[in-house]
Structure 1
Amino acid sequence: MNTLTKLLSNREIWRFVFSTAAILLLTTQPSAAQDFQGVTTFLDKVVAAITGPIGIAVSALAVMAVGFSFMTGRMDWTFAVAVVLGIAIVFGGASFVEGLSAS
């Protein structure tokens, strides 16, 4: 009998192989690529920044720009409507999507 046949017939080695495989299968964890917690946290912070004080300040500046252009007689109505719609979309978008995901 050659050594390979002796090795394969040894029950202790097969027990070791199967127990090692079972331990590896039972103790596996999902890979780090499947954990999106960091991405979710980053995107939540971006939404909070845009809809928070920074977004309010930027939208106030946009409204002031519309008012200034109206004051100087150079106001374009498409620009004014675009500013108003943009502000409505930015601040209403988060609550709109949140309402969609709740159902």
Structure 2
Amino acid sequence: KQNEKLQQVLYNISKAANSPITLDQLYKTIHQELDNIIDTTNFFIALTDYQKDEVYFPYFVDEKDDDFPIINFSETNSLTIYVIKTDQPLLADYKKLKKMIAQRELNII
């Protein structure tokens, strides 16, 4: 059942990506579709500009923040930057995050 749900979400995102909608509409569709399989209460799409050494957020929904500023790769070790740099997904609980901060793999921002 979960696999069918995932396949449907992927199909719906693919269908939206190939339809004549704006990027903002596509981002919103991705957010809504992913909400069917994971918690997307706080959700963002991050895009990288390696030439400018920046990550920016064209789409975000956050319970606490109204603005997501541009982040410089070389100046930040946020979770977002960590995942982008390692090119690997990260599943971490509070204990793991605390350890990563203590080892200076991550900064709190």
Q: Same fold (TM over 0.5)?
A: no
Indicate the structure with greater helix content. Answer: 1
Larger gyration radius, structure 1 or structure 2: 1
- The TM-score, its normalising length taken from structure 1, stands at 0.27
Greater RCO (CA < 8 Å, at least 6 residues apart): 1
- The TM-score, its normalising length taken from structure 2, stands at 0.26
